[in-house]
């Protein structure tokens, strides 16, 4: 079954607001195995709403029209959909009574206009609005079922969750079966990663698609048209093949998994604490760790050592070492990591020093970054990241943090076993 979502609103067409409703509804539909392959946005003009509905009916059997159910004259969705379907509007008397009661409580006065919000489409079913005044509707005409939903995100979400989804589950038990799994990678160019994944999947009936975010590459594996019991082993087999090849860049599977979250989880499991001395990243590593709920178990505090003198003063990097090797050096990175670790009394210390740009530093171009990991009882490991191919301060800083998180993940993973959720 093809599904289309039509979003209605002048403010969407003018780019004044971002359409979060459509993503929310599409995600909810996907969980019912309904994929909204077509999504359209139009303004509040009745002719354009009708035209969009007409086009949708040529290609979809389930159509949602979202927004434009307010009480004012520019809210034209319900009458436009009714006209488009050749149906009348019907007043829900009970709902109109309820609206009048609510408006009286709010002392809002003049409720006459709000009667529009008590109408739904003849022959259809009203959808209750647990968070607002406007009634929704679900109506089947010929081969098409059309749902009408309100625009304000709080009302939209409440009606989708509490009125629409339960009704859809009744009406459309299992369309096409889709089983999917989300894998997470970092530190690898997307094109290379996907080439290699496609190659290792070979003729397994598993489709891989990728999505790049600033701090990771998400790869979704999908098996179509098989029951869960048959799909799960295929996804397992695909995951095993991929991890065998791309293990160095892989950090887990599942929705909601983040690299920082995985590192915090592994540190907590190993009962290890961590700290940092950050130069070019300016606190981004520590801030990323603290973004994980429960980070306080593994992180007490750390340092931003932006200037050379802060490296000496806060984490005891000898001024002579900096004079000899420069601030942009493996030696300085190692001394920062060790100094931070010893000053805080943490098990692990990490350090970042380098050139975020745009200007060079010590004759080194933007993207030259040295990082280090120090651990009690071991010599500090320091290495150079060459990020000259990345553009922009923020990207170089973000990449530096991601690479060190990945190195920590791999180091901890070797010691403490699997952190997959």
Residues numbered 59-88 forming contacts with a second copy, rule: CB under 8 A: 70-74
Q: Is 397 in the site for a second copy (CB under 8 A)?
A: yes
| Cα gap 138→238, rounded to integer Å | 40
Of 1 and 192, nearer to a second copy (C-beta) is 192
- Binding-site member from 32, 90, 98, 103 for a second copy (CB under 8 A): 103
Q: How far is the CB of 379 from a second copy (least distance, A)?
A: 25
Residue 37 near a second copy by CB under 8 A: yes
Q: How many CA atoms lie within 13 A of 388 on its CB side?
A: 6
Q: Is 110 in the site for a second copy (CB under 8 A)?
A: yes
CA 215 to chain centre: 11
Does the protein bind a second copy through residue 347 (CB under 8 A)?
no
Using CB under 8 A, which of the segments 135-143, 228-236, 283-291, 373-381 binds a second copy?
A: 283-291
Which H/E stretch holds residue 89?
A: strand 89-91
Using CB under 8 A as the binding rule, whether residue 113 contacts a second copy is answered as: yes
Nearer to a second copy, 140 or 210 (CB): 210
Site for a second copy in 203-222 (CB under 8 A): 209-212, 214
β strands within 119-233, DSSP E: 119-121, 125-127, 136-141, 144-149, 178-185, 207-213, 216-224
Establish if 390 lies at the interface with a second copy (CB under 8 A).
Answer: yes
Selected from 23, 248, 319, 376, the binder of a second copy by CB under 8 A is 23
Task: Determine if 393 is a binding residue for a second copy (CB under 8 A).
Answer: yes
Interface with a second copy, residue 16, by CB under 8 A: yes
Q: Does 268 bind a second copy (CB under 8 A)?
A: no
Cis peptide bond upstream of 358, omega within 30: yes
44 binding a second copy? (CB under 8 A): yes
Q: Which of 246, 278, 331, 347 binds a second copy (CB under 8 A)?
A: 278
Shortest distance, position 216 Cβ to a second copy, whole Å: 13
Distance between CA atoms of residues 371 and 331, nearest Å: 10
Which pair of tokens denotes residue 12? 């969407």
User: Dihedral, CA atoms, 160, 166, 169, 171, nearest 10 degrees?
Assistant: -90
Q: Which residue stretch of 14-22, 160-168, 244-252, 403-411 sits at the interface with a second copy (rule: CB under 8 A)? A: 14-22
Residue numbers 118-137 binding a second copy by CB under 8 A: 130-132
Q: Which of 190, 247, 187 is nearest to 402 (CA)?
A: 187
Which range in 87-95, 138-146, 331-339, 391-399 contacts a second copy by CB under 8 A?
391-399
Three-state SS for 29-82 is: HHCCCCCCCEEEEECCCHHHHHHHHHHHHHHCCEEEEECCCCCCCCCCHHHHHH
Could you say which residues in the range 246-265 bind a second copy, by CB under 8 A?
none
Please select the residue that binds a second copy; options are 123, 166, 233, 301, rule is CB under 8 A.
301
Q: Which is nearest to 9 in space by CA: 100, 93, 75?
A: 75
Is 400 among the residues that bind a second copy (CB under 8 A)?
A: no
Token match 């969407």: residue?
Answer: 12
């Amino acid at each position: 079954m093809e599904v289309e979502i039509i979003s209605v609103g002048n403010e969407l067409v003018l780019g004044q607001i971002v359409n979060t409703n459509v993503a929310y509804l599409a995600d909810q539909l996907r969980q019912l195995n309904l994929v909204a392959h077509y999504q359209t946005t139009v303004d509040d003009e009745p002719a354009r709403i009708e035209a969009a509905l007409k086009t949708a009916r040529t290609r979809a059997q389930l159509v949602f029209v979202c927004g434009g159910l307010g009480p004012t004259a520019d809210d034209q969705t319900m009458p436009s959909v009714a006209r488009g379907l050749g149906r009348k509007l019907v007043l829900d008397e009970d709902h109109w009574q309820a609206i009048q009661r609510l408006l009286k409580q709010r002392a809002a006065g003049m409720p006459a206009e709000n009667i529009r919000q008590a109408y739904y489409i003849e022959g259809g079913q009203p959808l209750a609005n647990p968070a607002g005044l406007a009634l929704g509707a679900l109506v089947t005409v010929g081969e098409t079922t059309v749902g009408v939903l309100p625009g304000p995100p709080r009302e939209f979400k409440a009606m989708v969750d509490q009125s629409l989804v339960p009704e859809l589950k009744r009406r459309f038990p299992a369309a096409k079966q889709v089983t999917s799994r989300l894998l997470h990678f970092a530190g690898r160019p997307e094109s290379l990663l996907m080439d290699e994944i496609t190659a290792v999947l070979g003729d397994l009936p598993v489709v891989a698609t990728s999505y790049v975010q600033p701090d990771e590459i998400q790869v979704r594996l999908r098996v179509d048209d098989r029951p869960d019991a048959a799909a799960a082993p295929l996804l397992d087999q695909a995951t095993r093949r991929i991890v065998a090849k791309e293990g160095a860049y892989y950090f887990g599977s599942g929705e909601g998994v983040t690299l920082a979250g995985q590192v915090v989880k592994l540190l907590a499991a190993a009962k290890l604490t961590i700290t940092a001395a950050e130069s070019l990243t300016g606190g981004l590593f520590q801030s990323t760790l603290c973004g994980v709920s429960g980070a306080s178990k593994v992180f007490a505090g750390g340092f931003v050592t932006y200037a050379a003198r802060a490296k000496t003063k806060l984490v005891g990097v000898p001024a002579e070492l900096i004079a000899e090797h420069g601030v942009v050096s493996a030696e300085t990175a190692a001394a920062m990591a060790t100094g931070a670790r010893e000053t805080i009394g943490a098990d692990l210390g990490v350090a970042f020093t380098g050139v975020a740009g745009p200007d060079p530093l010590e004759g080194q171009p933007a993207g030259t970054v040295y990082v280090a990991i120090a651990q009690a009882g071991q010599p500090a490991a320091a290495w150079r990241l060459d990020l000259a191919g990345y553009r922009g301060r923020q990207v170089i800083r973000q990449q530096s943090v991601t690479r060190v998180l990945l190195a920590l993940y791999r180091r901890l993973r070797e010691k403490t076993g699997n952190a997959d959720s």
